Structure 1
């Protein structure tokens, strides 16, 4: 019988070992998770534009002559740098030049007429004075003295009339010259010619407000640039002049520029339904960095810094669950623990931790993975099998 008992005992041990092996195979496997160590750092509270902003020139003028006409002279080409007061374009104005010449000749003639009339008036005045003295001495009659005096008065009136006509002719000449200036386009400030519409010999028209007519010349002062960007209306109460701004451009990735809020629009723009924004203007802190690198019209994004806390405990904002909760990995037993924190200022990257965590603890940043929840067994992804 002993051999039978021994065989039964061996079989029982084998069954127990097999059961233990099956249980071991079916034990819960740790879930690989990505962890982030909680440590001090910089956290900023900020707001960003809702739609892309634009790099603008401090001065930009879309110029057109006051009157329409045929282009006779075009003294610049696109890309040229011009000085304030420089003649850019002139329309055909020979008729006005002729009128100006006629008015100038008439003015010269009237000035000579003044000299003639006033000289005659002076002579008549002296003659009247001489006749008056002779009358007092009894050498001439009262009628002769009276006639001489009236003649002097008439001559003096003719002199004054001639002088008035000179003023009138002078005003007429000034009017013709002003009319001439309506056909001349002059640079109002130093800048660069961005666009020219029209060539010599072509007809150009003025571009009055409300009528879509391209300007003859688009002049830009690219020595001074700023960024104009729309901000959501709900963020408007938190905006203030001189707030720090980070400017980023699609054309220059990875090269942010420092800026300052210089102006906040005093009204809300309703560009689209449910899209109400407030425009802000941002100056570059170091304008010399912008000059030579930026073009007017570049799209730009701005991030207005509302608050800045340095060397504070922080966690990635993406690691926060609803209700300011995080999953903390306990190295003692390898399980995940849900913990609620008290958050301070935050941005898209980091959130300040006021309470609930200590430096050195590790939290889960891969909550989207299947099975990741409080109480499960987890292992850092770098420690899991097959991880590099």
Structure 2
């Protein structure tokens, strides 16, 4: 019996010795490492899905009346100033109506002049009759007739002047109708889209129904980004915070902006996560060429920022906030206390010292505490 026990002990000793020899003679595991260093760490909030570049000054324009197009002075892509003519409709009917209204106004003024001159004459006749009546030359009955005629002609003068005002209003209406045949630029900008040509007919719409737009005008200097953020991040975002913006048409380029608006409600559509929209305006002085309305955009809102922070790559932080440190040629697992963090860097408050090397990737089963390892920066 004692021989069997010593046999088991011998086998275990030989196995342990073989394992020790294997562990110490096997080649070290090559691991990707990064040094604990100091630098900037930011806490950021990113959009949950692609945002969109928009133009704050953008209008889809259409004339307020129908008619045949007779002039389109500018084409797509051209810059126009505020007040410039964008489109003109056939205005022959409106011109004729204006001429008719102006002639009616002229006639009304002549009739008013005639009526008022007659009223003045009647006033003078009544005054003379009153003087003669005091001398007994004119009877009281004739004086009453003169007063009645004076009052009638005075009323006719007032009525004729009211007709002049009515005719003036008709002229203003005709001028307004004529102005509707011209579509002017409400602000300076670029014609992004033109969907009509000379000779085409723009059909008038029923009251309350707008005519479909024929010109899309936008000011490329008024660009901003609308992007959704998760409802869990809404409380951390505030107007005025700095934002990094990247857009698909300018890959590799980072733009800076500021949060200008945070939606006061949460979108709760069933097809998506619950989000709130933020608006970000680009800072002045940046080259925004190639940044076009409608382009996809991503935002990173800088919630907080710390300079000269002790930091490690975020990928080095494992479950339970533990890291693998390359120490003396072996991997040692060590717990750490973290602070600010983003997808790139995590601040280390305790547990590591500057200059130490940590493993940034644990994508292989042999990367574990206790094994011999060699770092690959």
Runs of at least 4 residues of structure 1 off by over 4 A?
Answer: 22-26, 205-214
Count of aligned pairs? 360
Assess if the C-alpha contact under 8 Å between 1:64 and 1:207 holds in 2: no
Match of 1:275 in 2: 273
Match of 1:8 in 2: none
Q: Which consecutive residues of structure 1, in runs of 5 or more, have no partner in the other structure?
A: 1-18, 383-388
Assess if the C-alpha contact under 8 Å between 2:64 and 2:211 holds in 1: no
Pairwise CA distance, 1:352: 0.3
Query: Which secondary structure does the structure 1 equivalent of 2:133 belong to?
Result: helix
Match of 2:241 in 1: 243
Pairwise CA distance, 1:111: 0.5
TM-align CA RMSD:
2.4
Q: Is 1:303 aligned with 2:317?
A: no
Q: Is 1:338 aligned with 2:333?
A: yes
Assess if the C-alpha contact under 8 Å between 1:65 and 1:185 holds in 2: yes
Deviations 1:134-189 (A, max 9, x none): 10111111121111111111111110010011111111222222233333211111
Assess if the C-alpha contact under 8 Å between 1:241 and 1:262 holds in 2: yes
Match of 2:348 in 1: 353
Give the 5 Å matches for 1:109-124: 109-124=107-122
Q: Alignment partner for residue 225 of structure 1, among 205, 223, 226?
A: 223
- TM-score w.r.t. the length of structure 1 is 0.87
Q: Is 1:362 aligned with 2:348?
A: no
Query: Which secondary structure does the structure 2 equivalent of 1:147 belong to?
Result: helix
Query: Which secondary structure does the structure 2 equivalent of 1:253 belong to?
Result: coil
Match of 2:12 in 1: none
Match of 2:38 in 1: 40
Match of 1:10 in 2: none
Give the 5 Å matches for 1:56-67: 56-67=54-65
Query: Which secondary structure does the structure 2 equivalent of 1:338 belong to?
Result: strand
Q: Alignment partner for residue 321 of structure 1, among 305, 313, 318?
A: 318
Pairwise CA distance, 1:67: 2.4
Of stretches 130-139 and 275-284 in structure 1, the one that deviates more from structure 2 is 275-284
Pairwise CA distance, 1:212: 10
CA distance in 2, matches of 1:379, 1:66: 76
Deviations 1:263-316 (A, max 9, x none): 11122234552322211111222x231444532223221100011011111110
Give the 5 Å matches for 1:129-278: 129-205=127-203, 214-278=212-276
Query: Which secondary structure does the structure 2 equivalent of 1:167 belong to?
Result: helix
Assess if the C-alpha contact under 8 Å between 1:206 and 1:215 holds in 2: no
Assess if the C-alpha contact under 8 Å between 1:336 and 1:377 holds in 2: yes
CA distance in 2, matches of 1:23, 1:355: 36
Q: Which consecutive residues of structure 2, in runs of 5 or more, have no partner in the other structure?
A: 1-16
